[in-house]
Structure 1
Amino acid sequence: MGSDNAQILHSVQTEVQEDNFDMILHVGDFAYNMDNDNGRNGDVFMKNIQPMAAHLPYVVDAGNHEVAYDFSHYTERFRNMPANSKEMPTVTSGNGEAPNNWFYSHDFGNVHFVAIDIEIYFDYPDMVAAQEAFVDADLAEVDRAKIPWIIVHGHRPLYCSCNEDCDEAAQTVRDGMEEIFYKHGVDMYICGHEHNYERMYDVYKNETSKTTVNPPATTYVVTGDAGGPEEHESFTRPQPDMAAFRTDAYGYSRMTVYNESHLYWEQVECDTDDNVQDKVIDETLTP
């Protein structure tokens, strides 16, 4: 979501003011870019989200538009994220050592959330092993009897179908994370990067069972159509079997976790009076 053309901003602010949300999850690419105009663009963005971030948890992970100056604007502006990686407790940003908010985890209700920094695979290869070790060890410690849901979020997709971004780059991320997700039964991976919305069925090694009842693999969702200077990103390829729904309309996603077995997901389109475009109930009968 950019400082300009932030299509969803008013709708989401209204929902926050009406106490419809408990948490906001923003999966990278802030302001476009936070470092522009010596950081003034980042200041505008932070002012725009203040009515929301001051009211409830505003949880983030870094995108490719945060990479300037060693992620210093991301690292410093979002210092209040949990820094619980034993493998790498600090990171070196453009301003020196800082708590590691590049990859971390936390519990919220009956969901265990894990944030990952996908850009590490492309710009910081020396950190890949530490991040993967953290995710693997962190997920191994989750007590599914107490915390039944696991959701991982990062910026880039492991699976998508719109264009060439879904080829080599997505494969690079899959090579690092897909086996860890499958091993620990990650329920959902939420990302952005593509400026559209695409909900996949459960997918493992490019195969899907096309079920939302006790799916055997991770469900993948791209929700990157909040609005920014780069506008829409059209789908230039046919819709594959693994894709349940996709659109390039501006919008945002809403998730409700009802209990240990039912999660409700929907996509709200801002182009047409905040209509719900896509909705699904994910039923996990056994952890």
Structure 2
Amino acid sequence: MGRFATLTSSALTAFALFSTTEAACSSKKNDTCPMQVRSAYAGPEGMVVSWNTYSRLSDPFVRYGKSPHHMDKVAVSYVSVTYPTSTTYNNHVSIKDLEPNAVYYYVPMDGKEKTPFTFKTSRSVGDKSPYSIAVVVDLGLIGPDGLTTHVGTGAANPLKPGDKNTIQSLEAQGDVTEFLWHPGDIAYADYWLKEEIQGFLPNTTIEGGAKVYESLLNQFYDEMTAVTGVKPYMVGPGNHEANCDNGGTTDKVHDIKYNVSICLPGQTNFTGFINHFRMPSAQSGGLGNFWYSFDHGMVHYVQLDTETDLGHGFIGPDEPNGVEAEDAGPFSTLKDAQTKWLAKDLASVDRSKTPWIIVAGHHPWYASIGTDASDVCFDCKDVFEPIFLENNVDLVLSGHVHAYERNAPTANFTADPKELNNPSSPWYIMNGAAGHYDGLDTLTEPRNSYSRFSQDTAYGWSKLTFHNCTHLTHEFVSSANGTVLDTATLFKNHKC
């Protein structure tokens, strides 16, 4: 565990418990030991606490309270779910009637952990106090089986000796950021075959690859506990959650093209993603972990699904015949379910209470990677952009392309003439540079006319700071050393 950097007091709490839990759970004798601990907002007065165990729990419960020495309340559920090929069970417990903007201490089950985990509930709607959040996209496993200081044949951008990785950088933030938002591409377990072909991991059979896939998932979620054990972890779908085949993997030496047919039951159609998380779709009228919204202080956050269910006759990137033909989704039986939900959700926002509207979706449509590149989701633009413009969305976040690009506020490929001074178009920022085994992508030259800053050489993440109801700052933080490589502030004349 020596790879982790010096932490703040809250992160140290989670790190100490994570270290103890990881060691205890490594023994199959302790098959109800909580691992991969995480929490998520569940409405203005609720939280969902989730964790994994090696065996099914008949009645998962969480002991919690306002003091680490007085956790006198208990929340119980009966949700302990698994799927074929999974080596663990996902346990989810909903906690209700919590105080806003308050720190709670909790322990899943009655484990032997000496130090509880923590979460902080959401700020009251309309609370205009400043705060910051962290955003990562395209973050994969770190360490010997993932992003490390060496790579396999054909991969690139290993970590430099002495560099912090993105998980370490997020840990070092401690209480500075209030929650972590991860809009897609989580863990990159579907890289297992590519890593084997490149000689980075030992070769297995296709059937044996299922165990490798699940091992990579579990390692990633174990690593993330040091962050997700102390702050809410809000997620959305990316293409690498869809199936086990990395959207199609080619063994060039043997001229073999692999596709989703190699995936065993449980490793297709976003199954792991569906089971592992519980996002606030029930509270916001959304659908599962795919699209939902939530309020936090002066901000209304919206998570979209750019991978499936685009509606209006469009094909999502992971639907049959889509950009990556992943044969996954759709997930709603209703026509245009996501776009109708989005229009209704945004129209209902009370801008006097939550003046800021921030949207995230995995695939970008404004990115300097060529107009014919499959990584650009123009169908997403055609579906979502008119709704954004009609409802005065302030900022749109994406990733997928493993680089960073801050664009001007843009509409229909045209930069807003007001730039960041009270524009009428949404501000678009693409940051898929969090880091995973396969490294970074190369942006094309020349950059798009609406591009304002870009880089494709450093791993990093986004920090959003809401100063008040009119000023929002975005920073690109270099994971290696914590320096800010780009910063810009948006002014919007919201009525406070």
TM-score (norm 2): 0.52
The alignment status of 1:59 with 2:234, answered yes or no, reads yes
Shift of 1:171: 1.1
Shift of 1:39: 1.8
Shift of 1:52: 1.1
Equivalent residue number for residue 15 of structure 1: 173
Equivalent residue number for residue 468 of structure 2: 259
The alignment status of 1:205 with 2:412, answered yes or no, reads yes
For the Cα contact (< 8 Å) 1:159–1:220, is it kept in 2? yes
One-letter amino acid matched to 1:30: I
C-alpha offsets along residues 93-134 of structure 1, whole Å, 9 cap, x if unaligned? Answer: xxxxxxx11100000111100111111023135747101111
- Any gaps of 5 or more consecutive residues in structure 2? 1-138, 149-164, 191-209, 244-267, 309-315, 320-328
Equivalent residue number for residue 214 of structure 2: 39
- Any gaps of 5 or more consecutive residues in structure 1? 90-99
The worse-fitting range, judged by mean Cα deviation, of 101-110 and 155-164 is 155-164
Shift of 1:265: 0.9
Equivalent residue number for residue 227 of structure 1: 435
Inter-partner Cα distance in structure 1 for 2:355 and 2:301: 11
RMSD across aligned positions (CA): 2.0
Equivalent residue number for residue 29 of structure 2: none
The worse-fitting range, judged by mean Cα deviation, of 239-248 and 27-36 is 27-36
Equivalent residue number for residue 5 of structure 1: 147
SS of corresponding position for 1:156:
coil
Residues 88-127 of structure 1 aligned to structure 2 (within 5 Å):
89=287, 100-120=288-308, 121-122=316-317, 123=319, 124=329, 127=332
Shift of 1:256: 0.4
Inter-partner Cα distance in structure 1 for 2:298 and 2:363: 25
For the Cα contact (< 8 Å) 2:388–2:426, is it kept in 1? yes
SS of corresponding position for 2:186:
coil
> How many residues were matched structurally?
273
The alignment status of 1:26 with 2:201, answered yes or no, reads no
SS of corresponding position for 2:444:
coil
One-letter amino acid matched to 1:71: F
One-letter amino acid matched to 1:51: A
Shift of 1:164: 5.3
For the Cα contact (< 8 Å) 2:364–2:375, is it kept in 1? no
Inter-partner Cα distance in structure 2 for 1:111 and 1:157: 22
For the Cα contact (< 8 Å) 1:79–1:101, is it kept in 2? yes
Shift of 1:27: 1.6
One-letter amino acid matched to 1:40: S
Q: Percent of counterpart pairs with the same letter?
A: 32
Equivalent residue number for residue 272 of structure 2: 73
Equivalent residue number for residue 188 of structure 1: 395
Equivalent residue number for residue 224 of structure 2: 49
C-alpha offsets along residues 235-278 of structure 1, whole Å, 9 cap, x if unaligned? Answer: 1231122111100121111110011101011111234x222111
> Does the C-alpha gap of structure 1 residues 179 and 193 become closer, same or farther in structure 2, counting only changes over 3 Å?
same
The alignment status of 1:145 with 2:352, answered yes or no, reads yes
The worse-fitting range, judged by mean Cα deviation, of 151-160 and 36-45 is 36-45
Shift of 1:185: 0.5
SS of corresponding position for 1:70:
coil
For the Cα contact (< 8 Å) 1:160–1:166, is it kept in 2? no
Equivalent residue number for residue 94 of structure 1: none
One-letter amino acid matched to 1:235: L
SS of corresponding position for 1:254:
strand
Inter-partner Cα distance in structure 1 for 2:235 and 2:188: 15
SS of corresponding position for 1:194:
coil
For the Cα contact (< 8 Å) 2:469–2:494, is it kept in 1? no
Inter-partner Cα distance in structure 1 for 2:172 and 2:435: 17
One-letter amino acid matched to 1:207: T
SS of corresponding position for 1:44:
helix
> Does the C-alpha gap of structure 1 residues 21 and 85 become closer, same or farther in structure 2, counting only changes over 3 Å?
closer
Q: Which has the larger radius of gyration?
A: 2
Equivalent residue number for residue 83 of structure 1: 282
> Does the C-alpha gap of structure 1 residues 48 and 126 become closer, same or farther in structure 2, counting only changes over 3 Å?
closer
* Misfit runs of 4+, over 6 Å: none
> Does the C-alpha gap of structure 1 residues 212 and 275 become closer, same or farther in structure 2, counting only changes over 3 Å?
same
One-letter amino acid matched to 1:59: M
For the Cα contact (< 8 Å) 1:85–1:103, is it kept in 2? no
Equivalent residue number for residue 361 of structure 2: 154
